[in-house]
Amino acid sequence: MQAGDLAGATIVFDLDGTLVDTAPDLVRALNQTLDLEGLPPARLEVVRGLVGRGARVLIERASTLAGAGFSEQRLDQLTLAFIDFYRADIAAESRPFPGALEAMDELSQAGARLSVCTNKRTDLSVQLLDALNLSARFSAIVGADAVAQRKPHPDHFRAAVTRAGGLVERALMVGDTLTDLSTARAAGAPAAIVAFGYGGAEEGQGADALISHFSELPAACQRLLATA
């Protein structure tokens, strides 16, 4: 890929399960939260399949699997507890997926802007990316709390593009779940789904690109955006 091939393009990344493998730290915080209610710990492989709609939904899904249900008020309280547990050591075991840094370097060198569109809270997203020395790579980091309608609503994607200084017509979504794919489709944008993410290859069916390693992403972006 040559410098300038993606000039004017914006590559929008989902965070958990796409850019960063956060499941080990999420399961730690989740199990500390479940323990408050005397519920059994969730397994890492189960939690990977529950991530993607924010902390409250994660707690709700995990407690349902454990046979428990909570009032809206108690869910609010447990969500706050989860956030405290999580932020206390947010990147103890979280790491970018293999090849992510190199792919972002190549995209940036080709002229693309990078942005984050995540259903994680913005403050937690920034804290995580700061801890991993990744924040400076992004022109915008837009969490669920920073928009009126979060993913899969297309306005979340549009905000991630425009706040990065880009145009929706020249933007692409990189994600790992049907939520990400649906978001891109609703916004009229192409989507690249990472088969190694928490959603797995099955959730990438119908995507414009299904990639098995981040090394494949720059070529996919060039194919989908360079002549857009």
What's the rounded Cα separation, in Å, for the pair 137 and 201?
27
Q: Based on DSSP, count helices (H) and strands (E) in the chain, helices before strands.
A: 9, 8
* Torsion sign, CA atoms 174, 177, 179, 185: positive
**Please, are residues 198 and 177 in contact by the beta-carbon 8 Å criterion?**
yes
Determine contact, residues 141/116, Cβ cutoff 8 Å: yes
Of 14, 21, 25, 176, the active-site residue reads 14
DSSP annotation string for 123-158: HHHHHHHHHTT-GGG-SEEE-GGGSSS-TTSHHHHH
Length of the chain: 228
CA atoms within 13 A on the CB side of 218: 22
Q: What pLDDT shows up at residue 228?
A: 46
pLDDT (0 to 100) of residue 101: 98
Annotation marks residue 123 as catalytic: no
154 prior amide bond cis, ω within 30: no
Pick from 221, 170, 180: nearest CA to 51: 180
Ranges under pLDDT 50 in the chain: 228
Walk me through the domains of the chain, giving residue ranges and CATH numbers. Answer: 10-21+94-225 (3.40.50.1000), 23-87 (1.10.150.240)
CB count within 10 Å of CB 159 equals 22
Q: What is the pLDDT of residue 89?
A: 94
Give pLDDT, residue 56: 87
The closest alpha carbon to 218, from 98, 109, 107, belongs to: 107
Give Cα 192 distance to the centre of its chain. Answer: 13
pTM over 0.75: yes
**pLDDT for 48:** 83
Q: What pLDDT score does 205 carry?
A: 84
